[in-house]
Amino acid sequence: PPGKKVLIVYAHQEPKSLNGSLKRVAVEELSKQGCSVTVSDLYAMQFEPRATRNDIVGCLHNSEEFNYGVEAWEAYKRGGLSSDLIEEQKKVQEADLLIFQFPLYWFSMPAIMKGWMDRVLVQGFAHEFPNCYDSGLLKNKLALFSFTTGGSKEMYAKGGISGDIRYLLWPMQHGIMHFCGVKVLAPHICFAPEYVSEEKRKEMLIAWAQRLKTLWKEEPINCSPEWYFK
């Protein structure tokens, strides 16, 4: 609906890839609906994935012994995080929906996107014990993981060699997003695009565009372990 804000965090090196096309389709379709769409193109931005001392501007809270979690938390509170982090947090803060678009690497997200999670979702900004899970600080936001796999759908079935694809979503959707209070929409998975015809890849893009048309009517998945492991 008009007025909704969407942040697409995108991790692929090649704009002509299927991931690049999925991202482009999302930008076009959501913009057409009157949403305002921002893209963080992590590779193009040369986003720094490593959590280091450089993320803290000025003096450390404890200069004797460096504890990243504590330092980032303290820096967040006094506005002392590095500008690239402040920039990303502002995008997250404004977004109603976060879409993560990436190829699955080793049952997980690419390092550059994991680094985005590590550095951006700081304590005090995204969570603050006991304010986590349903009371996480980013509640009232939605997230959707849209990704491509190398393996086929059969490989990622419950009895398949790689196990149920949902198992892999537990750390990403539950351990990160739900922990921060974000509600999660069903993932959008394009299985083994490299091994299918050009025609099939076009169908994948059409299916994504179709889903986006009614996305705002969708209910989030059930946030319990049962969804992942039933």
Q: Tally the domains of the chain.
A: 1
Q: Is the dihedral of CA 228, 108, 165, 205 positive or negative?
A: positive
Query: Which residues share a beta bridge with 9?
Result: 40, 100
* Tens digits of residue pLDDT in 137-154: 999 999 999 999 999 999
Please give the residue range of the domain that contains residue 126.
5-229
Q: Nearest Cα to 80, choosing from 60, 106, 57?
A: 57
Q: Length of the chain, please?
A: 230
* Tens digits of residue pLDDT in 81-107: 999 999 999 999 999 999 999 999 999
Structural contact between residues 38 and 89, judged by C-beta atoms closer than 8 angstroms: no
* Tens digits of residue pLDDT in 152-202: 999 999 999 999 999 999 999 999 999 999 999 999 999 999 999 999 999
Residue 209's pLDDT is what?
98
Which CATH number fits the domain that encloses residue 129? 3.40.50.360
Q: Nearest Cα to 71, choosing from 59, 58, 57, 61?
A: 61
pTM of the predicted model over 0.85: yes
Q: Is the dihedral of CA 92, 95, 97, 100 positive or negative?
A: negative
- Read off the tokens for 183: 């509600």
Query: What's the DSSP call for residue 174?
Result: I
Indicate the pLDDT class of residue 2, thresholds 50, 70 and 90. confident
